[in-house]
Amino acid sequence: MKNRTLYVLSTLLILCALLMGACAPAAVEVAEVDQVDEPAAAAESEAAAAPASPPTEESSVVTILDSAGNLVELESLPQHVVVAGKATPFTLSTTYVFEEASDRIVALELRRGLLTAEFLTLIDPKYEQKIKLEMESSAEQIAPVEPDIVITKNYVVKSLKESLDPLGIPVVGLNMETPDVFYQDIEMLGQLFGAPERAQAVNAFLQEKVNVVKTAMQGLTEADKPSVLVIQYSQQDGEVAFKVPPASYIQTTMVIDGGGIPAWAEQADEEESNWIVVNFEQIAAWDPDVILVIDYNGNPQETAAMLKQNDLWKELKAVQADKVFGFGKDYQGWDLPDPRWILGYTWVATKLQPERMAGVDMTEMVKEFYRFMYRLSDEQIEASILPMVYAD
Amino acid sequence: MIFIFPGEVRLKNNRLLVLLVFVLLAVFCAAIFIGRYPKPYWMPLNLLLHESLAQKLVFSLRIPRLLMAMLLGMSLAACGQVLQMLFRNPIVEPGFLGVSQGAAFGASFAILFLGASLLHVEIFAALFALLGLALSFAIARLVKFGGWILRLVLSGIVVSAIMSSGLGILKYLADPLTQLQEITFWLLGGLWSATWTDVLFILPVVALCLTAVFLMRWRLNVLSLSDATAFSLGTAANRERVFLLVCAVIAVAAVTSVSGIVNWVGLIVPHVSRRIFGSNAQFSLPGAMLIGAIFSILCDVIARTLLAGEIPLGIITSFLGALIFIILMSRQNLKAASHD
Amino acid sequence: MIDAPKLTLSNVEFCYAQGAAVLNSLSLDIVPASITAVLGPNGAGKTTLLNTVLGFLKPQSGAVLLDGVNISQYSRSQLSRLIGLVPQAEHIPFNFTVLEYILLGRTPYMGIFSMPQEKDHQAAESMLDLLHIAHIKQRPITELSGGEQQLVLLARALAQQPKILLLDEPTTHLDLGNTVVILNALKDLARRNVTVIFTTHDPQVAIYCADQVVLMKQGHVLSAGRLQEILTSAQLSRLYGVQISVQQVAGRPVVLLPR
């Protein structure tokens, strides 16, 4: 009967539309920038990969091995470096830890809406001369700059390689998502810039700071550990959302190493790779001892203060004990895959176990960080960094 | 009125409607006690009576959200029923004809470029929702092949896609870093940000529009007939149809501007209602509104309680809606079928 | 009883948007409280004529007059209480019950926001009895046979209590039994002062119940008048372009096709 065919056809059409609708947001989420959404499995396999040392037979060949196992061999140190792909603010912050970056980076991608340009102007006197690429540049934009090598975020490496390999342009990736893999990334950059001593110094600096926290936490019992909630406050489109990070993100490590128990991580699905929206009821059900409020778009301290005033939030244990803190941030949040993670790592510990971390002064640490990592002078730090710091 | 001199069928239908009202009240009351606090699912009455946090949760969060869910379900179902009858097409709903998507686009547009004043948002949502419907209808008239049902569904898919893409472009232009996350909210819907302000703001509009549609529920039957017949029975068919459509679409636009796009409710609920009450809109329209409210509340309870994280409402309604749709389709020919 | 209004068509011209004229300077006087059969070949414009009388189609020139007043002067609700149309067939997309469907005919007496009252229900029920279809009153209309549907459409139009009833090929899908039911109902209506106009292409149907006959071809009226005068062999042959013979059998005219 004609109508039966019609209805079958219509059902199929509708199911297709439904599938398309269901797929579209997933596709959009894959296109997400910025927030680390690398699946946990990949991060684990990268953490397991051992860092390689350059072969010693041919000393004229430069070997660069990134944390995902991509091997690049060049005849000499790359002089024209391009930083592209997604999450460039983090890639850039990490790359600039090496002073050679200022000379050797010829082009970089900027993301709108972040303070990357301001920060780079501060730390790189040659910033203005560099070519600014469009967001999510393709091979067509990158190739004309004639790079010797392209640095990007690890999950973009595959797609960029596909288009740049035929042109003979090598690509390496920075992962940066856990401390262990961060050290590997620094080593890779050391190979790339021909500055292995600097790489070792940076890693030593980071590990020393990590040890400060770990030493302070020795002897800590479960009973001493407060339950902690890390929550991102986001207000877009007139719609307020509270989100918790997936268990695989660095915030979880920061809380655990900092002497706390992450209240949200038990229930979070291990496979989740995106921020999860929760409503206030769930926050009230967790009723953590300490709440750390991330606000990427505004001032976390003000946000935390606003929440403390809220009628509903006033009922929470953490608010009543005045343990709600805006998560530290300066040009960039301290909880992101960026060298600043060490600041976040330390800061979290000072909030969770203040007596044990009493010897640590965050302001001094910030100054030390910027002096060491980015070679800024004290005046520069006073003038440009400290005013940007929001950290309770 | 109808209650005074009931014939047998009318009596049965009226009783069913009253029953549905009670079911809605029961579901509403039960849902007040269900949530993630203090533990997943049930909140004991004791707690509600004595703990101030529990009381605040219920009054500031759960109740406005439940009201919002109710209005959402009623509007979508009423609009679906109106669309299905006026277009004589059993496979349409606001989400298939570009109405919900247009509303979401209009609301986003207003928020991004005109500031988030609730008034602007609602007006733009309504404008683009009506535009979406008009476009779907116009394109359907242009398409040259296929029966009317197929043409309208196809053009509706096209217009919905255009509006959704428009939404995507808006988000991307605005702030590619963070806004892309928010698009999930618009495309899949969610009530986690519903506040009393939202409810009180859209309530007058929705109440007005749904009342108008409700009052015309019998007239809807007449307007679903052919143009000549509707004329011969004394109606100003086109004007009255446009009036009904405008009212139904504005109600949907208002709720969509708060909740994002929620699909399938407008498709399934009218079918279920017609199963129970027959096609006579005098009963099936109020039935649809009540069933829509109940369904919507149930879906929202699942969305906010099942997991620690919020599940977008549209996912639940799509899943359940599609399931019910397949069951309906396989049982017998859709009730609104033409016969050979 | 109230007199049926006098219906006149005066030089009515009508064409659809892109086409040639369908009604060409058509003038007609309908005798009140009579049954008029409009005969003509396919494409003569019979359906268009009915829709124009109904007021649904507006003529480009000329007028349809009721008691001398152009029907465009009447309000829609007035018109719908005066004129009813029974279409040839209706594509019915929803499974209303028979009773609900007939009830729709009460719309002219209801406001936009009204619900059917008890008197509307009673009027509808009485139509069921009139046409002997009370036994199917709860059946969904999508499950009716062609003949039953036609009766339901008639019942709906009758529920409007019109003074002028228009029917478009009312007996085309009906068996002889149902045909007689309908035609008897029409005769009954005429006795109650309702003017009945129906189109048909079967002259025998006209003979059974009509007093007046109109012969239409290509939008023109070829001839109009009392049945006995108009329904002759010569007229019919001219109308249909085939040799038709009208004979008297048992005192009534019978139409015979050529051998």
Q: Which range marks the domain in which residue B247 is found?
A: 8-52+61-331
Q: Is the pLDDT of residue A356 over 80?
A: yes
CA-closest candidate to residue B263, choices B328, B313, B205: B313
**Chain B hits for A2, Cβ within 8 Å:** 340
Mean pLDDT for the stretch of residues A3-7: 65
Q: Is the pLDDT of residue B209 over 70?
A: yes
Interface of C with B (CB under 8 A): 51, 54-56, 76-77, 79-81, 83-85, 87, 90-97, 99-100, 104-105, 107-108, 110, 112-118, 121, 138, 140, 142-143, 157, 160
> What is the side-by-side order of every strand in the sheet holding C21-30?
C21-30, C7-15, C61-66, C69-70
| Residues of chain C under the 70 pLDDT cut | 1-3
Q: Is the pLDDT of residue B336 over 70?
A: no
Judged by average pLDDT, the poorest of B164-178, B232-246, B300-314 is: B164-178
CA-closest candidate to residue A120, choices A78, A91, A156, A144: A91
- At B2, is the pLDDT very low, low, confident or very high (cuts 50, 70, 90)? very low
The answer to whether residue B246 is domain-embedded is yes
Q: Is the pLDDT of residue A41 over 80?
A: no
The answer to whether residue B112 is domain-embedded is yes
- Shortest alpha-carbon distance between residue B170 and chain C (Å): 40
Helices (H), B87-147: 99-114, 118-142
What is the predicted pLDDT for the residue at B315?
92
β-strands A62-65, A71-74 pairing: antiparallel
* Contact present, A346 and A209 (Cβ < 8 Å): yes
- Shortest alpha-carbon distance between residue B117 and chain C (Å): 35
User: With a threshold of 0.90, does the pTM exceed it?
Assistant: no
Q: Is the pLDDT of residue A108 over 60?
A: yes
Q: CATH no. for residue B271?
A: 1.10.3470.10
Check B279 against C95: CB less than 8 A apart.
yes
- Shortest alpha-carbon distance between residue A63 and chain B (Å): 34
Q: Is the pLDDT of residue A17 over 50?
A: yes
For residue B253, give Cα distances in angstroms to A143, B92, C55, C127. Answer: 47, 16, 37, 43
- At A273, is the pLDDT very low, low, confident or very high (cuts 50, 70, 90)? low
What is the predicted pLDDT for the residue at C20?
76
Q: Fold for domain A221-388? A: Rossmann fold (3.40.50)
Check C51 against B228: CB less than 8 A apart.
yes
Q: Which residue of B has its CA nearest to C57?
A: B228
The answer to whether residue B48 is domain-embedded is yes
Which residue spans of chain A are classified as CATH 3.40.50.1980?
42-51+58-199, 221-388
- At B21, is the pLDDT very low, low, confident or very high (cuts 50, 70, 90)? very high
Six token digits for residue C48 = 């268009």
What is the predicted pLDDT for the residue at A26?
40
What is the predicted pLDDT for the residue at B26?
95
Out of C81, C93, C143, name the one closest to residue B88 (CB): C93
- Shortest alpha-carbon distance between residue A280 and chain B (Å): 8
Structural domains of chain C in order of their starting residue, each with its CATH number: 7-256 (3.40.50.300)
Out of B90, B232, B274, name the one closest to residue C85 (CB): B232
- At B6, is the pLDDT very low, low, confident or very high (cuts 50, 70, 90)? very low
Q: Is the pLDDT of residue A392 over 80?
A: no
What is the predicted pLDDT for the residue at B247?
94
B229 touches chain C (CB under 8 A): yes
Averaged pLDDT score across all residues of chain B:
85
Rounded Cα gap, residues A189 and A174, in angstroms: 9
Rounded Cα gap, residues C227 and C225, in angstroms: 6
What is the predicted pLDDT for the residue at A44?
35
Task: Report percent pLDDT > 70 for chain A.
Answer: 81
Check B57 against A3: CB less than 8 A apart.
no
- pLDDT tens per residue, range B210-252: 999 999 999 999 999 988 899 999 998 888 998 999 999 999 9
Check B337 against C142: CB less than 8 A apart.
yes
Q: What is the 3-state secondary structure (H, E, C) of A294-348?
A: ECCCCCHHHHHHHHHHCCCHHHCHHHHCCCEEECCECCCECCCCCCCHHHHHHHH
What is the predicted pLDDT for the residue at A192?
87
Q: Which CATH class is domain A42-51+58-199?
A: alpha beta
Please, what sign has the CA dihedral across residues B23, B25, B30, B31? Answer: positive
Mean pLDDT for the stretch of residues A345-364: 88
Q: Is the pLDDT of residue B148 over 80?
A: no
Judged by average pLDDT, the poorest of A19-28, B193-202, C129-138, C155-164 is: A19-28
Of B206 and A81, the structure prediction assigns the larger pLDDT to B206
- At B175, is the pLDDT very low, low, confident or very high (cuts 50, 70, 90)? low
- pLDDT tens per residue, range A138-162: 777 888 888 888 888 888 888 888 8
